[in-house]
Structure 1
Amino acid sequence: METRRRSLVKAVLWNVIGLVVMAVVGLIATGSAAVGGTLAVVNTVIGLVMYVIYERIWARIKWGRHA
């Protein structure tokens, strides 16, 4: 089982990558850096929260693990 801190660091790093990608996609799709950036930030916040919850749930599931 990994620590909560490790799960959080993994989630933050993954979401930084996602933030950059979403900002570029939003800019390309809308032509506006402000709209693209807003979409990226909202997506990142939602994704971060959901990822942490998802990881913590899976950390408690023993199925598929070997001792």
Structure 2
Amino acid sequence: MQEKHYRSIVKAISWRTVGTIDTMVVSFFVTGNLVMAISIGSVEVLTKMALYYFHERAWNKTNFGRLKVVENDYQI
């Protein structure tokens, strides 16, 4: 089964939302600076969303870890 491109895009957006919030929280604890934390999160959200999309599409092209559905070639 293949996935449509928009599915990968929506998954990338939802995952990056979670990931970016995490990055901003960690950045704030490391730097102690809210503006810096938001800046770091803003930059990484764009780069990681693009990377995730291409990573997801590459995995969609391989059958690694997928089970092939075999249909019966006869009827009873």
Do they superpose with TM above 0.5? Answer: yes
Provide Cα deviations, 1:6-65, integer angstroms capped at 9, x if missing partner.
Answer: 111011000000111111111111111111111111111111000000000111112332
Q: Which runs of 5+ in 1 are unaligned?
A: none
* Structure 1 CA distance for aligned equivalents of residues 22 and 47 of structure 2: 15
Structure that is richer in helix per residue = 1
* Structure 2 CA distance for aligned equivalents of residues 13 and 40 of structure 1: 15
TM-score if structure 2 supplies the norm length?
A: 0.81
Identity level (%): 28
* Structure 2 CA distance for aligned equivalents of residues 53 and 44 of structure 1: 14
* Structure 2 CA distance for aligned equivalents of residues 8 and 26 of structure 1: 26
TM-score if structure 1 supplies the norm length?
A: 0.91
SS of the aligned residue for 2:65 comes to: coil
Match of 1:19 in 2: 20
Q: RMSD between aligned alpha carbons?
A: 1.0
If you compute each CA radius of gyration, which structure gives the higher value, 1 or 2?
A: 2
Detail structure 1 runs of 4+ shifted over 4 Å in the superposition.
Answer: none
